[in-house]
Amino acid sequence: GKEGDYIIRTTQKAGKIHVQISAKMDGKMQAMGVEEYRVRTIPDPVIKISKYKNGESIPLAELRAQSGIKAAMENFEFKMIAPKVISYSFNYSNSGKSEIMVKGSNLSPEVKSALAKVKAGNKIYFDDIVVKLADGSTRKYSATFKVGR
């Protein structure tokens, strides 16, 4: 980050930790004090297409206009690096086709082609969504959206 911003990585999952602050003064490291910090586990992000969340209905025209899916942190009080979608698989109801595997968060040309065949009332499925979180860990999610008019 920028000067004055620090990231503390801990193996403790949640609770309070004590961090010893030291500074180099006159060529020697000197203890400057101990600070107490609260540690929280990063909650699961919400999988979205535009403003629509997993389980919601998205209008067909708006769905086709989107460029990708995203993982968003909602109602989390700490400022942090946004989660990043690494990969996912895509399919839709009544497609009769196998899943489309995608690297990254963008809707690939194959997914865009499939979306051109989707009709109102279909469900679209994003499975095996691998998301990288600010702490470097990855988690796997699934999301389903109903296609509206």
In this predicted model, what pLDDT tens digit does every residue of 39-50 receive, in sequence order? 888 899 999 999
Tell me how far CA of residue 87 lies from CA of 16, 68, 121, 136, 144, in angstroms: 34, 11, 26, 15, 16
The confidence band for 2, taking pLDDT boundaries of 50, 70 and 90, is low
Model's pTM, two decimal places? 0.80
Question: What does the alpha-carbon distance between residue 146 and residue 63 come to, in Å, rounded to a whole number?
Answer: 10
Question: What does the alpha-carbon distance between residue 72 and residue 45 come to, in Å, rounded to a whole number?
Answer: 5
**Which tokens sit at 7?**
């990231």
Instruction: Give the alpha-carbon dihedral of 23, 29, 30, 36, to 10 degrees.
Output: 50
